[in-house]
Amino acid sequence: MRIKGRSGLLPLNLLVIVLVSVIILFPPNTLRIVLGFLFVLFFPGYALMVALFPRKEGMSGIERVALSFGLSIAVVPLIGLIFNYTPWGIRLESMLSSIASFILIISIIAWHRQKGLPEEERFNIEFQLKMPSWGISTRDKVLSITLVLAILSVLGMSGYIIATPKAGEQITEFYILGREGKALKSMLGSTYLNVIEGRAEVRDVFLEDKGGVVAVAVVTEGGKGGEQSWALSRGISVRVWRGKGLVSESVVSSFKRFKGVTETTAGAVSRGHVVQTGATAFALEMPSLADKVGEEYGFGIKGFSEFQVGDILEFFTPTDLAVGKEMTVTVGIANYDNETVSYRVEVRIDGVKNNEVQGITLERGERWENGVSFTPGVAGENQKVEFLLYKNGEVKPFFEPLRLWVDVKVKPS
């Protein structure tokens, strides 16, 4: 008995719509897995196969099935590679929409190509229910059996990989936050426990009458560090960043506010006086950065004169650590494992246990952020503070320790 239909493009696109609906409306289930296999490993290649070979002659049914799988395996990774370099990235939504769009567009092309052919020449799906004829050559028999086994192997291995998660595949995020709610960054081999009070970007550089170098900078951030308004003044700590590199760490030796228009003019500036140069005036003040974003200032930095346009000036308040003084930092943990996980955080100073936080239990997708304290017991520079994360009662840390380097002073009398 022979069963004959059309090319199958319409049912294929209807199945794609069903899959998209199942993913959007329902949690993971068996139907989603089955259609997902076909959606990734067969549907794209089948539509492309019909578009490339719209005529019935030239290829057998088993060859068309094998080609559909092969084309799918080639096309889907290519789509993923392209999306990896886009803002959408490789995510469920982006891959689902892109593959579905590919199938629809290629199906339209295939339909258009078949429409231009006579009915009897178009490729159609046919099922012939009869015992196989063994009159074909041994070579064709071996080829057909090999293709069938290869297709079944691919489907079986794919199903096993998806149905059986990789043992030990665990994803946990572990980090330390600074006072601004941002992860502390390593700079020149150390992580600084400082309060960032503000930042300014260098827009111009010129010389003073006395030979000093002034960096004209626009305040881009300010007033985030302390609870009270922080005032810009001589002697405050500053770092100069160029790109991702730290080029200087010193103190502000002088500063002058630019009043008037923001257009700057190179000229002589006398410290402590108002000097008019073109359309810009300079005046000595002690401003707070809390409400000064967008304003311009001229800065001099002790021991540094090699400013460049685009440098970032980072003003900060050093954190004083003393023997016996407790210091608290915010530690974060995020659980992306496929199960509930119990965590323990241990703090060490120069290899000696100083504090411990236990009983942190997180469900999948849950995040924990809390203060973890440590108290230095001896004075000294460049003491290594380590935060170690343990999972599910294990005796070995799950990660390499997070490290801070601190200078500890003798406790004031």
Is the domain 194-318 a CATH 2.40.30.10 member? yes
Would you call 202 helix, strand, or coil by DSSP? strand
Is it the case that residue 164 has pLDDT exceeding 80?
A: no
- Segments making up each domain of the chain, as ranges: 2-163, 172-179+321-409, 194-318
CA dihedral over 13, 18, 21, 26, signed as positive or negative: negative
Would you call 292 helix, strand, or coil by DSSP? coil
Would you call 11 helix, strand, or coil by DSSP? helix
Q: Is the pTM of this model over 0.85?
A: no
pLDDT in tens, 178-231: 544 444 443 333 344 555 677 889 998 888 767 678 888 888 876 544 433 455
CA dihedral over 246, 251, 255, 257, signed as positive or negative: positive
* C-alpha 334, offset from chain centre: 15
Is it the case that residue 12 has pLDDT exceeding 50?
A: yes
Determine the pLDDT at residue 156.
63
Least-confidence region, from 169-178, 280-289, 295-304:
280-289
Determine the pLDDT at residue 342.
93
Determine the pLDDT at residue 127.
52
Is it the case that residue 150 has pLDDT exceeding 60?
A: yes
DSSP conformation class of 291: G
Determine the pLDDT at residue 348.
93
* Whole-angstrom distance, CA of residue 127 vs CA of residue 228: 80
Determine the pLDDT at residue 292.
66
Looking at the chain, the whole-number percentage of residues with pLDDT higher than 90 is 11
Task: Evaluate whether 222 touches 292 at the Cβ level (below 8 Å).
Answer: yes
Is it the case that residue 59 has pLDDT exceeding 90?
A: no
Looking at the chain, the whole-number percentage of residues with pLDDT higher than 70 is 70
Mean pLDDT of the chain: 74
Count of Cβ atoms closer than 10 Å to residue 147 Cβ? 17
Better pLDDT: 46 or 273: 46
Is the domain 172-179+321-409 a CATH 2.60.40.10 member? yes
Better pLDDT: 44 or 134: 44
Better pLDDT: 412 or 374: 374
Is it the case that residue 383 has pLDDT exceeding 50?
A: yes
| CA nearest neighbour of 33 among 132, 161, 150 | 161
Tokens of 40: 């990734």
Tokens of 138: 């041994």
Query: Which of 63-77, 142-156, 192-206 is predicted most confidently?
Result: 63-77
Task: Evaluate whether 308 touches 215 at the Cβ level (below 8 Å).
Answer: no
Phi/psi region, residue 261 (left: phi>0; alpha: psi -120 to 50; beta: rest), is: beta
Determine the pLDDT at residue 388.
92
Query: Which of 85-89, 254-258, 335-339, 375-379 is predicted most confidently?
Result: 375-379
H or E segment to which residue 33 belongs: helix 30-41
Determine the pLDDT at residue 128.
55
CA dihedral over 383, 389, 390, 396, signed as positive or negative: negative
Query: Which of 91-105, 190-204, 231-245 is predicted most confidently?
Result: 91-105
Better pLDDT: 116 or 342: 342
Across-strand partners of 368? 333
Task: Evaluate whether 18 touches 35 at the Cβ level (below 8 Å).
Answer: yes
* Whole-angstrom distance, CA of residue 306 vs CA of residue 200: 16
Instruction: Report the alpha-carbon angle 193-195-198, nearest 5.
Output: 140
* C-alpha 246, offset from chain centre: 23
| CA nearest neighbour of 106 among 53, 142, 66 | 53
Least-confidence region, from 80-84, 205-209, 300-304:
205-209
Determine the pLDDT at residue 194.
58
H or E segment to which residue 186 belongs: strand 186-187
pLDDT in tens, 339-361: 889 999 999 999 999 999 999 99
Helices (H), 57-176: 61-84, 92-115, 138-163
H or E segment to which residue 204 belongs: strand 194-207
DSSP conformation class of 303: T
Tokens of 22: 């199942």
Is it the case that residue 269 has pLDDT exceeding 90?
A: no
Determine the pLDDT at residue 161.
55
Is it the case that residue 306 has pLDDT exceeding 60?
A: yes
Arithmetic mean of pLDDT, 30-43: 80
Task: Evaluate whether 283 touches 297 at the Cβ level (below 8 Å).
Answer: no
Would you call 320 helix, strand, or coil by DSSP? coil
Determine the pLDDT at residue 349.
92
